[in-house]
Structure 1
Amino acid sequence: MTILAVALAVGLLVLLISVVKLHPFVAFLIAALAAAMLLGLPLDRVAGSLTRGIADMLGSLTAILCLGAMFGRIVADSGAAQRIADTLIHAVGRGPITLALALAGFIVGIPLFYNVGFVLMVPLILSVARRSGMPTVYLAVPMLSGLSIAHGFLPPHPSPTALVGMFGADIGLTLIYGLAVGIPTLLIAGPLFARSLRGMTAHPRPSADTPEVVVKLPNATASFAIALLPVVLLAGATVLMTLPALPPVATGWVAFGGNPVVTMLISVLAAMLILGVARGTSLTRLSTGSGEAVKDIAGILLIVAGAGALKQVFVDGGADVALAGWLSGLSLPPLVLGWGLAMVIRVALGSATVAGLTAAGIVQPLIAAHGVDPNLMVLAIGSGSLMFSHVNDSGFWMFKEYFGLSLAETFRSWSAMETLVGVFGLLFTLLLSLVV
């Protein structure tokens, strides 16, 4: 009965979002209430479960995501993202240009939220296609696969950051593992796959092919240094903490600097000073942009909060124990199971964030029961949440409309690329699990 209650609650969530078209936050709360009723949770405990779930999920995550949004906005507005892409493209000339585009998308994707990075990079892709005479889709897929992988695998992006909190993973270690899994996945789903798309002709809409605006961009050193600063701080702190001879005083400072909130605060302040104030941008303008960036992620925070409410109802209703027992009886490895659940929800709903958070709430009991590495589970679920983007995903339509493709061409290019990211992301996660 418990398993059926969970299945019905998740089914209701899918129905409310995909058919009724409710906002995911509202859908999560309704699904959580339905789960509470089905699991027999006493009425006087339901409100407390919802509140506790929302509070526990958001916690320090709110600060990380808000600071991440501010950081990304400064990187985008300053032109640092464009400088990074330009530098990598010019470095290779007409050589391995798809490799340069993939790397540019990956690096730019670290500080920028996916939709922001997508809109920012499209004019650059079209400009490169126009100047080089190379097919547009052939150039677009590598860069956008880099954005997608950063979005699904790497903190401080919303879904992986939230999963780190749900599983009690280490954000720095997850980032290191994410790089180890993401880079080979990028090479396959980006430059390698793009070779099969050379014959596809794009018809970009006029508004997408915007003229290049000549502005004074920050220098390449500053652009790369700031964009990669969160990665260096988080990964560096994780590596330093493993050193046996680290003095106690140094250990305290490293732990402090490696705290995700402190890391993102340092990154934001560095971006404001180096990409903003040092280049003549007023603090007032920087603050205004940061405020607008926070508004843009309000919807994401609500989705995360709703997922926390549903997860807590599962726990308080005893579904976690029942799920652990039932899932343990399945023959699938836990990482594959998490990937599969995220994939099914992704195909049904279209949202990678909702798919990842919902799947995480279901498989969370497996982390302790099977001793699964929580950092690897973040990557497995992240991979599943990117699988087979199709007509219910906004990214599918953005790609189709920006590049003027038919539905069949969009499936052949965009959907296939996202599926390769999901499949090889899981494959490399499983291979990594053999050595860590």
Structure 2
Amino acid sequence: MLILHTTIAIVGIVALILRAKVDPVIALIIGSLYLGLATGVGFTGTVTAITGGFGDIMAEVGLLIGFGVLIGSLLHAMGAFQKMVTLLVDGVGGRRLPYALTAAMSTVFPAIYVDVQVVLAAPVVRSAGPMIGRRGLPLMAGALGTGIFAGYVFVVPGLAAVSIAGLMGIPLGTWILYGIVLGPLTAILTTLVFRQILRSGFWRPAVDEPVEKTVAPGEEARSEEDGEGTEPPEKQRSTTPPLVVCLLPILVPLLMIGGGAFAKLFGVTHDAISFLGDANIALFVGLLGAYLLCRRALGSEGTNRALGEGFHTTGEILLITGIGGSLGAVIAETGLDEILAGLFTADAGAPVLVSILLAWVIAAVLHLAIGSVSVAAIAAAGIIGPVLGSIDVSPIAIGLAVASGAMFALQVNSNFFWMFKSLVGLSTQGTLKTLTLVTALGSVISLPLVMVVGLLA
């Protein structure tokens, strides 16, 4: 009965979000309440698990998410990411541009919302496409899609990456060491494979590239991934610093966290190193740097406006992330962790690989059903997190498997799909052939890479 009630709860959450169009926050709470009451956790125990789970995950990632979103908002207001796109266009040749674009999207750009990324980069995709050749537009569109979501799920401070690490208790420094390799590697390999697919006559411009575009770049749009509308960047002053300076609020925290992780790896221990390598301190340093740069470039009014937008988005993200922790806490109280642990450690020739594959499948199915990478990642991490201590597989491998599965085949039940279609200038069929295909390819290509991590970690 426990498995049945858990299945009902999860299917019910998916149905509420997908069919009834209920907000994920409400759907996750309803599912958590049903699961706790139906499995005998009790009225008091269910409430305690929901509130306790919310508080626990907020203690883990609340400040990280808040600081990361605010950094992205301030840098976006200064036009830092727009400068990055311009640099890519000017600095590399047409043949290398898809790889440069997807690498940048999966390493630097995860600091901002996915809808802002596509608004900034869509003009590059459309203008550079014809310069590459007759298959240039789909190739650039595919590079953009895979870069955005490979960064989103694998690379800190991408929302899905930070959420999975927090929900599953994986040190952020450890995640950075693996994610910064896996994210761009997945994006570049996917773009290479997609380029070969396009050479087979797969793309038909007459039906895949409509002449008319329905939404202009920079026009306000909304994405279910982040829940935040996109706006044109703040008007920059001549005092806006160079690009390398603008990106310091991202690069310095990553170096601080990575340095702390390497110090721990080599057995170097000191309170000062632990303090500076702490993810919360590192991201606060980044936020302080972004704030000072923004004040100098845009003044107090522009900075406050950028912070206001960031605070608005932070509240929505924190709420759904916290409730993902609530669902995981209720699952832990039901005793399902022992059953799931049995599934993960079932008799098999390669239990590590089977465990990784199972985690990947759970996240992929949730994404296909819900249509949101972030919600799928949070829900899957909440389901699997409670069993990590019971299985003989490295937590980082399971976490990366969830990330890999959560990006599988973004399609028509996602608002981002339609936003991407309009901004890039594709038909629905063309969007399926680019965005949906490359996120499916990226998910599948990253899976064996994650399995290698599982065997070595």
TM-score, normalization by structure 2 = 0.87
2:242 corresponds in structure 1 to 219
Distance 1:271 1:155 in 2: 17
1:423 corresponding residue in structure 2: 444
Q: Partner of 2:66 in structure 1?
A: 66
Question: 1:252: which partner in 2?
Answer: 271
Inter-CA distance 405–88: structure 2 relative to 1 (3 Å threshold): closer
The residue number in structure 2 matching 1:385 is: 406
Number of the residue aligned with 2:299: 282
Q: What is the one-letter code of the residue matched to 1:372?
A: V
Q: Any conservation in 1 of the 2:106–2:155 contact (CA below 8 Å)?
A: no
1:38 and 2:61 correspond: no
Query: Deviations 1:83-120 (Å, cap 9, x if unpaired)?
Result: 22222332213341112211222233231122221222
For 1:285 and 1:209, the matched residues in 2 are separated by: 22
Asked if the contact 2:405/2:443 (under 8 Å) is kept, the reply is: yes
1:345 equivalent in alignment to 2:353: no
| 2:111 partner SS | coil
Following superposition, the deviation at residue 363 of structure 1 comes to: 2.2
Q: Amino acid of the residue matched to residue 323 of structure 1? A: L
What displacement does 1:209 show? 4.6
TM-fit CA distance, 1:364: 2.5
Q: What's the counterpart of residue 281 of structure 2?
A: 262
Matched with 2:264 is 241
Conserved 8 A contact 1:346-1:385: yes
- Identity of matched residues, %: 25
Q: Which residue of 2 aligns with 1:150?
A: 151
Cα deviation 1:189-211 (Å, max 9, x = unaligned): 22441454475543462642569
The structural deviation recorded for 1:231 is 2.2
> Unaligned regions of 5+ residues in structure 2, if any?
220-231
Residue 182 of structure 2 aligns with which residue?
Answer: 181
Taking the TM superposition and a 5 Å limit, the aligned residue runs for 1:10-89 are 10-89=10-89
Could you tell me how far 1:125 is from its partner in structure 2?
2.7
Alpha-carbon shift at residue 5 of structure 1 (Å) = 1.6
Counterparts of 2:217 and 2:48 in 1: how far apart (Å)?
51
1:230 maps to amino acid: P
Of residues 369-378 and 20-29 in structure 1, the stretch that sits farther from structure 2 once superposed is: 369-378
Give the match for residue 255 of structure 2. 232
* C-alpha contact 1:142 1:191 (8 A) present in aligned 2: no
Where do 5+ consecutive residues of structure 1 fail to align? none
Amino acid at match of 2:69: A
Q: CA deviation at 1:270?
A: 1.2
How far 1:131 moved relative to its partner?
Answer: 6.8
Sort the Cα spacing of 1:129 and 1:27 in 2 relative to 1 into closer, same or farther, 3 A: same
Q: Distance in 1 between matches of 2:244 and 2:105?
A: 17
Contact 1:83–1:218 (CA under 8 A) maintained in structure 2: no
1:129-144 correspondence to structure 2 within 5 Å:
129=129, 135-144=136-145
Change (3 A) 1:229 1:140: farther
How many residue pairs align between the two structures? 430
Once the two structures are TM-superposed, the CA of residue 359 in structure 1 deviates from its matched residue by 1.7
Aligned to 2:118: 118
Please say if 1:325 is aligned against 2:342: yes
Question: Partners of 1:208 and 1:230 in 2: how far apart?
Answer: 35
Instruction: Provide the secondary structure at the position in 2 that maps to 1:41.
Output: coil
- CA distance in structure 1 between the partners assigned to 2:139 and 2:186 by the alignment: 17
Measured on the aligned residues, the alpha-carbon RMSD in Å equals 2.5
| Pair 47,167 (structure 1): closer, same or farther in 2 beyond 3 Å | same
- Contact 1:169-1:374 at 8 Å conserved across structures: yes
Q: Cα gap change, 1:415/1:330 in structure 2, threshold over 3 Å: closer, same or farther?
A: farther
Q: Would you say the 8 A contact 2:106–2:152 is kept in 1? A: no
**Residue type at the aligned position of 1:72:** G
